[in-house]
A and B are shown apart, each in its own frame.
Chain A
Amino acid sequence: MKAVPEPSQHSFHRAVVAVNGGPSDARIVQAACELARTTKGKLTAVHVVEVGWNLPLDADVAGRSEEAQRVLDLVEATAETERMTIETILLQARDVGAALVDEASEREADVLILGLPYRKRFGGDFAIGRTVPYVLKNAACAVMVIREPMAEELTG
């Protein structure tokens, strides 16, 4: 009988790490490196630039954007400080969630790692956004969501 893996055992061969240029990028890349180091897994960072419906999907948006390039370059630098290598992919898509799920699927990733900022809607409810629920619902692989710690003014 096949043993059921421990829930804490995040063994994987390939992980796709979704980054968006936010403050949590460094944290999730470090966490992904930590996990990949033990299993010698391969890491791929994906940054998706959403293209509005007023432009063609292959419009020259991300290629010209230094900001989009910098997001992935910083991820690469963070991985290097962790003595790991990370492949970087820059995508243009109509929807971030769908692009992440499809990219993870195409790369046969075992896990898709996302960061989630701690934000509240007007009224006080926790705002999870639309990308994380989409990925949780549609990704074929395991999904790991790393939520940012609460800001001090929220905890205190």
Chain B
Amino acid sequence: MIGGRRPLPGRKLADRRVRVERPHTPFFRYTGPGQLVAKQAASAPTTSAGRAWARIRALVFGRPLANIEEIGERLTKKKALAIFSSDAISSSAYATEEILRILILSGAAGALTYSIGVSVAIAVLLTVVSLSYRQVCRAYPHGGGAYAVARENLAPVFGLIAAAALLIDYVMTVAVSTASAIQQLQSIYQPLYAYRIEIAFVSIALITIGNLRGLRESGNIFAVPTYVFVGLALLIVGIGVSRIVGGTVVPLPPQPEAIAPGAGVLSVFLLLRAFAGGSVALTGVEAIANGVPAFKPPESKNAANTMTSMSLLLGVIFIGVTIVAHAFAVVPSVDNSGGPTVIALVAGSALGAGGPMFVAFQVATALILFLAANTSFNAFPRLAAILAEDGYMPRQFSFRGDRLAYSWGIVLLAAIAFGLLLAFNGDTHALIPLYSVGVFVCFTLSQAGMVRHWFLARDSGWWWRAAVNAFGGVLTLVVLAVVLSVKFADGAYLVAILIPVQVALFLFINRQYRTSARHLAIGPDYVVPAPHREERAVVPVPGLTRAVVQAVNVARSISDDVRAVYISNDAEETAAMRARWERQVPGVPLVLVESPYRALVGPLLAYLDILDRAWPPDREEPITFVVIPEYVARHWWERILYNQSAKRLRTVLLGRPHTVVVNAPYRREEEGRFEPTHGSDVGGDVGGA
């Protein structure tokens, strides 16, 4: 970085000064001795194609952001409630429907009445789980995800089980929320049903682009739809309950798509299935415990109080919707019929189907469901990045893109979620059995981890805190067993297979990273000695060109032991090459290899093996530098015309022991500086060896 110097005159002769150029300034900034920070221009593309691509990326994803531009918004309780609750509260949009879908299978009179009892049981479970998570908020002010809690307090493998379950949970949140959001819109305008996959694709694509642009959980974006949904849902419940109390309920006539009551028996198993279906209401409850650091101080207290508010709202809306649905004799629609959702029927009964308030509620429901999907787009990549940093996922997942977003995680989540929607034909009900299992695995492991945490920490009141978590853990374990058994055949088996597979994959990746780290590690006492191994250079030459001459010169600068290797299947050509080489490149021996089978790579590798075998066995193996001449094409489309042989050679030589592959690029821009040998042939396979 030595700048040029320009003399400037002064008012007096002795006042002359010299301006020193600073060529590094557009690209770097010195921050300390020998320490530079790269500016954006340092990573700007230099080719026209690269610049065009960068412009497109900037248009779609926004300009690149520096690390310091990350927004660390601290949230008030009101904003946090909107941000972290969208996932949990939005599940009230489909939880009641899941209960009714099971109970209707029983033909017994009054079977649907049990929906209220089931929803109350789920609300009790919600209370216990939220009380348990309040403890997590207090114990982990830096964020207590199930992965961190289980890993720290139980064992790493439990952390990995929790992580696998969480990743599945996040994927399912995107798939289920998107499918349900589209169903809410189709409840306003039925023909949308035919385009549900296309709408899902566009929605997920938009959320993906938004997140790749670095869309954060901005309080204001979340607050409006969440509070509109909560407000209108409470209004619907209020209207419904007042009609029930006033005795003015008029049961809804069954819609054409309504499920006909089955002929089954109202058994305990059916009630358990209904409970398992409705327990999907608990999904997303853990979000607040994961996001404690985002709260304004005192973080833990605010998070714990927000958790209580969220559970209260979710419980009231969930039970309220179930009571109103029962009172108005709401019956769910048949799968894939395009009929209205239960929440839409409940809203229609209270607000008047098709009216502006009804439409507003359905739109708000769809929006809160899309926001719930977006929550996973923040959580999934963050967890994947933590796992990548811990060495359980490929490192790419911890790299942040131009907009500070974990691009790999975002794209992977979008791809899997859309794949699921496609595979399950955009049907919320078909996706639900896959959803709850992962959620309850996380709850159970998190609570178990917390019990051990309290036993180890022994803070004041540790025994009753441990008791709360232990009760929560046992309860969620029982529910997990119930959910897994009653929904096993419906799809829960997939999760039961996927979690161990994922954990095995995490462990495999971790073992790979640990093995490579062990191989690459240098002991603290090791002092790097001066190079002592002998070196030799081999230049595969396709002819005599400027690129070849440059490669030979590079090889000469590496070692005195240089030889060129020319492989040909034409005896006459070989003889001509020898004559030319000896005349024009004196001092560098040329090895001619005739290849009657027209192979190029094989004979070269065999020649290198022969060289190795010919080396005296009492001396240490030398390092063989294979210097490959390459012609640098000026345009991207030219690249397919050149260097194909060089690429093949490079690929096969990369794993060869004691061998270093050196590319010697020749640029057309160097024409002026290059001193051509008189009569040299610059045609032919200029780059390829």
Interface residues of A (CB under 8 A from B): 48-49, 51, 57-58, 60, 62-64, 66-70, 72-74, 76-77, 88-95, 98-99, 101-103, 105-106
Q: Which residues of B contact A92 (CB under 8 A)?
A: 5, 17-18, 20
Return the CB mask of B41-84 against A: 1 if under 8 Å, else 0: 00000000000000000000000000000000000000000000
Distance to closest chain B CB from A81 (angstroms): 9
Q: Does B639 contact A (CB under 8 A)?
A: no
Contact with B34, one of A66, A73, A106 (Cβ below 8 angstroms)? A66
Which of A48, A51, A72, A92 has most B Cβ within 10 Å?
A: A92
Contact with A73, one of B5, B12, B19, B31 (Cβ below 8 angstroms)? B31
Contact with B3, one of A51, A77, A90, A101 (Cβ below 8 angstroms)? A90
Q: Which residues of B contact A60 (CB under 8 A)?
A: 2, 5
Q: Given the complex of chains A and B, what is the CA–CA distance between A72 and B24 in angstroms? A: 12
Is A98 within 8 A of B10, CB to CB? Answer: yes
Q: Which residues of A contact B2 (CB under 8 A)?
A: 60, 63-64
Q: Given the complex of chains A and B, what is the CA–CA distance between A64 and B2 in angstroms? A: 6
Q: Which residues of B contact A69 (CB under 8 A)?
A: 1, 22, 24, 30
Is B30 within 8 A of A73, CB to CB? Answer: yes
Given contacts A60-B2, A69-B24, A73-B25, contact A91 B18 (CB under 8 A): yes
Q: Does B32 contact A (CB under 8 A)?
A: yes
Is B14 within 8 A of A94, CB to CB? Answer: yes
Distance to closest chain B CB from A53 (angstroms): 10
Q: Does B514 contact A (CB under 8 A)?
A: no
Is B19 within 8 A of A90, CB to CB? Answer: yes
Q: Does B657 contact A (CB under 8 A)?
A: no
B28's nearest neighbour on chain A, judged by CB, is A73
Q: Which residues of B contact A70 (CB under 8 A)?
A: 30-32
Given contacts A58-B7, A60-B2, A98-B12, contact A93 B25 (CB under 8 A): no
Is A91 within 8 A of B20, CB to CB? Answer: yes
Q: Given the complex of chains A and B, what is the CA–CA distance between A75 and B428 in angstroms? A: 58
Q: Does B511 contact A (CB under 8 A)?
A: no
Distance to closest chain A CB from B17 (angstroms): 4
Distance to closest chain A CB from B439 (angstroms): 44
Is A91 within 8 A of B17, CB to CB? Answer: yes
Q: Given the complex of chains A and B, what is the CA–CA distance between A18 and B4 in angstroms? A: 21
Distance to closest chain A CB from B649 (angstroms): 41
Q: Does B458 contact A (CB under 8 A)?
A: no
Q: Which 6 A-B pairs have the closest CB atoms?
A: A93-B17, A70-B30, A98-B15, A63-B3, A92-B18, A73-B29
Q: Given the complex of chains A and B, what is the CA–CA distance between A29 and B675 in angstroms? A: 52
Q: Which residues of B contact A74 (CB under 8 A)?
A: 31
Q: Which residues of B contact A106 (CB under 8 A)?
A: 8
A94's nearest neighbour on chain B, judged by CB, is B14
Contact with B19, one of A91, A94, A95, A98 (Cβ below 8 angstroms)? A91
Q: Given the complex of chains A and B, what is the CA–CA distance between A49 and B3 in angstroms? A: 14
Is B17 within 8 A of A102, CB to CB? Answer: yes
Distance to closest chain A CB from B21 (angstroms): 8
Distance to closest chain A CB from B24 (angstroms): 7
Return the CB mask of B23-40 against A: 1 if under 8 Å, else 0: 011000111111000000
Q: Which residues of A contact B14 (CB under 8 A)?
A: 94-95, 98
Q: Does B11 contact A (CB under 8 A)?
A: yes
Q: Which residues of A contact B18 (CB under 8 A)?
A: 51, 57-58, 91-93
Could you pull out 24 A-B pairs where Cβ atoms are within 8 angstroms? A58-B5, A58-B18, A63-B5, A63-B21, A66-B34, A69-B30, A73-B31, A76-B25, A76-B29, A90-B3, A90-B19, A91-B18, A92-B18, A92-B20, A93-B15, A93-B17, A94-B14, A95-B14, A95-B15, A98-B14, A98-B17, A99-B17, A102-B15, A102-B17
Q: Given the complex of chains A and B, what is the CA–CA distance between A89 and B18 in angstroms? A: 10
Q: Which residues of B contact A67 (CB under 8 A)?
A: 33
B18's nearest neighbour on chain A, judged by CB, is A92
Q: Which residues of A contact B11 (CB under 8 A)?
A: 98, 101-102, 105
Q: Does B16 contact A (CB under 8 A)?
A: yes
Q: Given the complex of chains A and B, what is the CA–CA distance between A47 and B2 in angstroms? A: 16
Q: Given the complex of chains A and B, what is the CA–CA distance between A26 and B32 in angstroms? A: 16
Distance to closest chain A CB from B68 (angstroms): 9
Q: Given the complex of chains A and B, what is the CA–CA distance between A5 and B17 in angstroms? A: 34
Q: Which residues of B contact A64 (CB under 8 A)?
A: 2
Q: Which residues of A contact B33 (CB under 8 A)?
A: 66-67
Which of B7, B11, B17, B29 has most A Cβ within 10 Å?
A: B17
Q: Which residues of B contact A103 (CB under 8 A)?
A: 17
Q: Which residues of A contact B20 (CB under 8 A)?
A: 49, 62-63, 68, 90-92
Other A-B contacts than A63-B4, A93-B18, 16 sampled, CB-CB below 8 A, are A63-B2, A66-B33, A69-B30, A70-B31, A74-B31, A76-B29, A77-B29, A90-B19, A90-B20, A91-B18, A91-B20, A92-B5, A94-B15, A94-B16, A95-B14, A103-B17
Q: Which residues of B contact A62 (CB under 8 A)?
A: 3, 20
Given contacts A93-B18, A94-B14, A98-B10, contact A66 B30 (CB under 8 A): yes
Q: Which residues of A contact B29 (CB under 8 A)?
A: 73, 76-77
A81's nearest neighbour on chain B, judged by CB, is B68
Given contacts A69-B30, A91-B20, contact A99 B15 (CB under 8 A): yes
Is B22 within 8 A of A90, CB to CB? Answer: yes
Q: Given the complex of chains A and B, what is the CA–CA distance between A90 and B10 in angstroms? A: 16
Q: Which residues of A contact B32 (CB under 8 A)?
A: 70
Contact with B22, one of A58, A72, A101 (Cβ below 8 angstroms)? A72
Q: Given the complex of chains A and B, what is the CA–CA distance between A63 and B33 in angstroms? A: 14
Distance to closest chain B CB from A97 (angstroms): 9
Distance to closest chain B CB from A112 (angstroms): 15
Q: Given the complex of chains A and B, what is the CA–CA distance between A68 and B30 in angstroms? A: 10
Which of A62, A89, A101 has most B Cβ within 10 Å?
A: A62
Given contacts A58-B18, A66-B34, contact A88 B25 (CB under 8 A): yes
A95's nearest neighbour on chain B, judged by CB, is B15
Q: Which residues of B contact A93 (CB under 8 A)?
A: 10, 15-18
Q: Given the complex of chains A and B, what is the CA–CA distance between A103 and B10 in angstroms? A: 9
Distance to closest chain A CB from B431 (angstroms): 48
A93's nearest neighbour on chain B, judged by CB, is B17
Q: Given the complex of chains A and B, what is the CA–CA distance between A76 and B31 in angstroms? A: 11
Is B19 within 8 A of A89, CB to CB? Answer: yes
B23's nearest neighbour on chain A, judged by CB, is A63
B16's nearest neighbour on chain A, judged by CB, is A57
Q: Which residues of B contact A98 (CB under 8 A)?
A: 10-12, 14-15, 17
A63's nearest neighbour on chain B, judged by CB, is B3
Distance to closest chain B CB from A94 (angstroms): 6
Contact with A102, one of B4, B5, B10, B21 (Cβ below 8 angstroms)? B10
Q: Given the complex of chains A and B, what is the CA–CA distance between A100 and B5 in angstroms? A: 17
Q: Given the complex of chains A and B, what is the CA–CA distance between A89 and B7 in angstroms? A: 13
Distance to closest chain B CB from A72 (angstroms): 7
Q: Which residues of B contact A88 (CB under 8 A)?
A: 22, 25
Q: Which residues of B contact A49 (CB under 8 A)?
A: 20
B435-488 with Cβ < 8 A to chain A: none
Q: Which residues of A contact B8 (CB under 8 A)?
A: 102, 106
Is B22 within 8 A of A57, CB to CB? Answer: no
Q: Given the complex of chains A and B, what is the CA–CA distance between A92 and B15 in angstroms? A: 11
Q: Given the complex of chains A and B, what is the CA–CA distance between A95 and B8 in angstroms? A: 14
Q: Given the complex of chains A and B, what is the CA–CA distance between A91 and B21 in angstroms? A: 9
Q: Given the complex of chains A and B, what is the CA–CA distance between A59 and B29 in angstroms? A: 23
Q: Given the complex of chains A and B, what is the CA–CA distance between A83 and B437 in angstroms? A: 51
B15's nearest neighbour on chain A, judged by CB, is A98
Q: Given the complex of chains A and B, what is the CA–CA distance between A66 and B3 in angstroms? A: 11
A60's nearest neighbour on chain B, judged by CB, is B2
Q: Given the complex of chains A and B, what is the CA–CA distance between A60 and B2 in angstroms? A: 8
B22's nearest neighbour on chain A, judged by CB, is A90
Q: Given the complex of chains A and B, what is the CA–CA distance between A106 and B8 in angstroms? A: 10
B222-246 with Cβ < 8 A to chain A: none
Distance to closest chain B CB from A85 (angstroms): 12
